[in-house]
Structure formats: structure tokens, C-alpha cells
Amino acid sequence: MKLRRMRAVARKEFLHVLRDPRSLGMGIAIPMLLLVLFGYALTLDVDRVPMVVWDQSGTHTSDDFVSRFAGSRYFMIVGQVGDYGEIERAIDRRRAMAALVVPTDFSDRVESGRQTSVQLIVDGTDSNTASIVLAYAESVTGTYSREVALEMLRRAGVPPVRQPLDFRPRVWFNSDMESRNYIVPGLIAVIMMVIAALLTSLTVAREWERGTMEQLISTPVTGRELILGKLIPYFAIGMFDVLLAVLMGEFLFGVPLRGSVGLLFGMTAIFLAGALAMGMLVSIVTKSQLLASQIAMVATFLPAFLLSGFMFPIANMPPAIQAVTYAVPARYFVALLKGIYLKGVGFRILAVEAGLLTVYAVAMIVLANLKFKKKLE
């Protein structure tokens, strides 16, 4: 393999990308656009849940109870209703996700120390969100109940009972519990997997469709030089995309980067090499730009989005699906990115994921070289 011939192929591919705005746009603009769209639109935080209130008591005590929901960051009172029909209409029209019903005797029961019931109606069409809303409501109600109980003991002159447990929760690595802090690093893996495979899935197929492959075959360029030469320009574009994504994560989304920048880009280089070689392999096998792009999209986006642990915890998947995730390279890259971004861990902790990612990259490059035949068929 001669470096001069490989450099000539790389220069040819660079010129093609620079002369084709669509390729350049796909390589740089689309990843940034996807990162902005997903970064702002995709969130797992359940805040400011719209709620309507039916306060049948209408007293100062019930107002104080309702104000606990209004003052919480998790709920937003959007209106008052007067019956269950209005509650149903508000939820059906998606004006509200929950409804709080306070009974008429709420104030009398609370002030006399008797147990009273309040009703919370939640839209259960999204079961996960409904479960989170119920937990929020139970927390607000539990806090109010404890304060009422302590106030009654104080009035009766009884010293408050010391609780046997002092529960002090502390969240590591994402203390603000912001979903964006782990969504953005995962997005980098998903987007780069898709874009890298799409970019190179068109390279060899384009040469066959345009009839220029015959000219390349007639030159002294070997198959290995051709493949590596075509990978180099897109590798450079991919690394530039990652640089932009890291800068956007830092300054646009405020995602902390606690680990080593060098380790981040080193792991990214390995991941990109494998993803680009996979796209090249698809291009070599199909020899059709349309078919290659379709296969590359299906083989990269769905596994990277669904089976990498980016959106759904792998531990919650059925055992058969968990076994499939080991063949998804984005699984290891997502774990690497989250470890570097949020935990700030080093190579010693991430060595297994880095090794498996390296095996994947080497396997894809070797397969692409084995599949490419420098002859007309």
C-alpha cells in the first residue's frame, strides 16, 4: 500500500465533497440541525404539569392546600372547574393532564384532626408520565399532611416525635436531574452513527452508477488504498462534526464535560472509523446509492436509537433483546460518552467498552477490504 496513491484518492474525494453542496450539507449541517432539534425537543423531564382544580370547600385551608401544588415546580394550575364534566373536557382537550378535587368538608376535617380524602385524577394515556405525576402529587400531599400533624401537636402542647430515620438523598453526576445532561451525549452517538454510515454508503455505489469505477479499476490503486482513501475525507468531516457537537453541548445546552477531552476524541475516532467502514461495506455490497442509503439508515438509526441504552435502559429489555444489543456499536459509544461527560471517568474504567468498540471498527474495515473486488462483475 502506497501513501501517495491513497492520498490521491483522498484528495479526489475531498474535492467531490467540496463541489457537491448536498454532500457537504449532509456531512455538517444535518448533524448540527438534528442535535439542535433533538436537544431542545427531546426531554424526559416532567415539569409544569397542567392541572385544573375543583375546590368544593372554598376555604382558607383548602386554598392553602391548593397553593402547595401551585407553588411546586412540578405543577401548573391552569384553571378552576365546577364539576366532573368540566374535568373530563379539560383532559380530553389536553388543556390539563391532572385534576385535583377537594371535598366540601375538607377544612372542617383538617382543623378538627380527622382524616380527610382528596382526589387526584390523572390522564393515564401516557402511563410513564402518569406514574411520575402521581409520585409528585403524593410528595406534595405527604409534606402538607406532616405539616398539619406537627401544627396540631404544637397546639396541643405535645412535643413532636423525632423521626427514627434522617433521609438525606444526594444525586451524583447529574445533581440537577436534568435529562438534557445525558440526552445530548447520547444524541452525539446516535447522530454520528447515522450520518457516518449514510455518507460513506454512497461513495463506492456512486462510482459504479456513474461509470467511474472502471477508470479506478484500471489504475494501479489497490482496493485497500481506495477504501482508506475514501474514508479519510469523511473521517475528517465526522471529527469536525463532533467538535461542533461538543462545543454546542458546552455553550448551547450547558452540558458539563467532566472527563478528558483527549479520551473523548480518541474514542470518537475509533467509533467513527467503524461507522464509516460499515457504510462503505454497505456501499460495496449493494452498488446502488438508493439501496445503500436505505440499508444504512435501517441498520444504524433504529438500533442506535432503540438498542443502545440511549433512550431505554437495556436492563429493562427482554433477555433476547439484551443479547442483540451487544452487536450494536452505539451501545458502547453511548456508555463511553456518558462516562466521560457526566462521571469524568478515565480509560481504566472504560477499557472494556473501548476494546469492544475497537474490535467492531477493525472488523468493519477488514470486511470492507475483503468484500471489495477490483474487477468488473
Q: What local confidence, expressed as pLDDT, does residue 322 receive? A: 92
Q: What local confidence, expressed as pLDDT, does residue 25 receive? A: 72
Average pLDDT over residues 181-196: 83
The x, y and z cell numbers of residue 292, run together, are: 445503500
Strands 49-55 and 75-80: parallel
Q: Which of helix, strand or coil describes residue 207? A: helix
Instruction: Tally DSSP H helices, then E strands, for the chain.
Output: 16, 4
Q: What local confidence, expressed as pLDDT, does residue 126 receive? A: 82
- Residue 152's contacts (CB-CB under 8 Å, 6 or more residues apart) are 113
Lowest mean pLDDT among 111-115, 174-178, 328-332, 353-357: 174-178
Give the integer Cα–Cα distance in Å for 139 and 147. Answer: 12
Q: Which residue from 302, 305, 278 is spatially nearest to 292, judged by alpha carbons?
A: 278
Give the integer Cα–Cα distance in Å for 104 and 22. Answer: 66
Confidence label for 90 from pLDDT (cuts 50, 70 and 90) = very high
Q: What local confidence, expressed as pLDDT, does residue 17 receive? A: 76
Average pLDDT over residues 159-188: 79
Q: For the segment 243-266, what is each residue's pLDDT rounded down to a tens digit?
A: 988 999 888 888 888 999 999 999
Q: What local confidence, expressed as pLDDT, does residue 375 receive? A: 59
Q: What local confidence, expressed as pLDDT, does residue 166 receive? A: 73
pLDDT at 122 over 90: yes
DSSP for 331-356 reads HHHHHHHHIIIII---TTTSHHHHHH
Q: What's the chain's average pLDDT? A: 85
Which is higher by pLDDT, 61 or 310?
Answer: 61
pLDDT at 44 over 80: no
Lowest mean pLDDT among 223-227, 275-279, 345-349: 223-227
Confidence label for 121 from pLDDT (cuts 50, 70 and 90) = very high
The x, y and z cell numbers of residue 211, run together, are: 461509470
Q: For the segment 312-363, what is each residue's pLDDT rounded down to a tens digit?
A: 889 888 999 999 999 999 999 999 999 999 898 889 999 999 999 999 999 9
Q: What local confidence, expressed as pLDDT, does residue 331 receive? A: 92
- Is-contact 175 3, C-beta < 8 A? no
Q: Which of helix, strand or coil describes residue 264? A: helix
Please report, for the chain, the start and end positions of each structural domain, with discontinuous segments joined by +. Answer: 3-43+178-371, 49-155
Topology adopted by domain 49-155? abc type-2 transporter like fold (3.40.1710)
- Is-contact 277 204, C-beta < 8 A? no
- Is-contact 96 86, C-beta < 8 A? no
Q: What local confidence, expressed as pLDDT, does residue 165 receive? A: 72
Paired strand residues for 80: 53
Q: What percent of the chain has pLDDT over 70?
A: 95
Give the integer Cα–Cα distance in Å for 159 and 164. Answer: 15
Q: Which residue from 128, 126, 122 is spatially nearest to 91, judged by alpha carbons?
A: 122
Average pLDDT over residues 114-125: 90
Give the integer Cα–Cα distance in Å for 119 and 107. Answer: 15
Q: Which residue from 183, 199, 263 is spatially nearest to 28, judged by alpha carbons?
A: 199
Q: For the segment 285-315, what is each residue's pLDDT rounded down to a tens digit?
A: 887 877 888 888 888 888 888 888 887 889 8
Confidence label for 1 from pLDDT (cuts 50, 70 and 90) = low
DSSP for 309-320 reads SSSS-GGGS-HH
- Is-contact 238 192, C-beta < 8 A? yes
Max mean pLDDT among 43-47, 50-54, 179-183 falls in 50-54
pLDDT at 156 over 70: yes
